[in-house]
A and B are shown apart, each in its own frame.
Chain A
Amino acid sequence: MRRWLATVLALLALTACDDGVLELAVVFGGTLEVGAATPRDGVLLVLDGDLRLEPSALLRGTVVVLGGRAVLDGRVVGDVIALSGAVLLGEEAHLTGDLAVAGDLERHPLARVDGRVTLGSAVPETFAGLLRAGPSSWRSVLGRALWLALLGALATRFAGRAVRRLVEAVRRHTLTALALGTLALVVGLVLVVVMAFTVVLIPVSLLGLVLGLLAMLAGWSSVGIALGALVARRLGARTAPGWSQAMAAALGVFAVATLLGAMERVPFVGGLVALGVSAVGLGAVLLTGFGSRRFVPEDAPGEFA
């Protein structure tokens, strides 16, 4: 019953984020057209195929091209980064951010770029831009933080044992969780996209996406609960099992979620911090199987062979 309750709450939290938990669209083959009537927000990742931004269309966020082409003839409020593939800027293209292209670039003489233009081997800047995404609004950040805090508090109150295992993995095995979480984040994202591309696996892909987002939510909450418990201990506050522990957890989760939102506004470092926190949380979730078992490293006494 508690498990079902946690699932329902997590789904509620997902729907509460008005900008979506992950504002990311991926082009992997075919053509994605963004017209004047359909403006888009968030990161657009082009792995293959074409992204077409029509004249007078608006795209608010970062465009990352790792393959295929980005044909831009409208307004991009953000950066455009191409590590490979091609970028074509039409007559009406207007980029308010930076343009960094390591692949091919065709630029109409009237195309406007307000930011810095880096080409060819100026790759470090390109990578810095890769981790920069359009920040969410503060209303969205606070709304997400509140829902996650509520989720954290309820989980601590009603699924105490699982939460303790998750928090233990975050606190005592941070590096292992970071490593596993990073690997799972990268591979999971690609896997979901590739499965969707096979068409027949679209339902599996959607299921994977939902599971992945639940894992991310549980992960963020775990990091927040761990932080809440740590601060409570440092302040000498006694948190007995029950609602006082749940309050500490809620405050910790709220702090972490708000910090992650704030970090979206810090170039490069902010992205790295957000990625790191997400990876640690996700890693803890995987190490403990959503808190269903205690993680014991293989090198510890009493290991399995």
Chain B
Amino acid sequence: MKQDKIRLTVNGSSHDLSIGVNLGEIAPSETLVHTLRETLGLTGAKESCDHGACGCCTVIMDGQAVPSCMVLTVECHGKEITTIEGLQDPETEALDPLQQSFIDNMAFQCGYCTPGIIMTSKALLEKNPRPDEEEIKEALAGNFCRCISQYQVIEAVKQAAKNGR
């Protein structure tokens, strides 16, 4: 069925978007990371490798961590998407305990890959609140961090899991 509109729910707000090739429309070839960054102004997800290898653009879609550079926006109709901007409590602006744990463990350096790493970790903890170290590493195997904050990230996720118990 041909569809000319899609609805995305991003961080709890729904957005109706038109599909097409004209100005302001979502081209059928457009990736989700582009829509999030350019149309919705959510620049936390970073477009880095643009071929699904580095995880810098990771968001959570219907509970799964996905590289948003590998998803076409037109495929996202009816999906629930959470980006790094959606982790804070919308009322109080309190940080998610996982974000706080990244601060407490200084689990970042340049911070470019951090939103993606946090979103991957968040999806893991939602599905598996008590991951062991191997499960944390496995979940993050698709996230590239070149400053090498991996040791601190693993500590941060472990601590967030522990505090969540």
User: Are A and B interaction partners?
Assistant: no
